[in-house]
Amino acid sequence: MSSLPQSHRLYLSPRELQPVNTSLTLREREILGCLAQGMSYKMIAAECGITFNTVQTHLKRVYMKLSVNSATEAILTGLRKGIISL
């Protein structure tokens, strides 16, 4: 893995070239819902019984699938599309 941030790399990995499945998994929806309730990554990890890094990975995939760049955008998009509710 390159030590440069992804935005500074000059290539995409084979995984990044694969088409993105835009439907969120049950776990991704659960984690996005927790985020919408104001929970921190650490709190989400404890609630879901997963590690902090796993929460980051799930949310990174959520951001990619929803084509957003922040938690606020992800939550708003999730609410607008009916993926999550408060």
List Cα–Cα distances, 28 to 12, 24, 48, 64, in angstroms.
24, 6, 11, 12
Total structural domains in the chain? 1
Instruction: Determine contact, residues 85/77, Cβ cutoff 8 Å.
Output: no
- Is the residue at 58 inside a domain? yes
Residue 62 maps to a domain: yes
At 77, is the pLDDT very low, low, confident or very high (cuts 50, 70, 90)?
A: very high
The first and second tokens of residue 37, run together, are: 């309730």
What is the model's pTM?
Answer: 0.74
Give DSSP secondary structure letters for 32-80.
Answer: HHHHHTT--HHHHHHHHT--HHHHHHHHHHHHHHHT-SSHHHHHHHHHH
pLDDT at 64 over 90: yes
Q: What is the CATH number of the domain that holds 73?
A: 1.10.10.10
pLDDT tens for 15-38 read 555 555 569 999 999 999 999 999
Q: Which domain holds residue 73?
A: 24-80
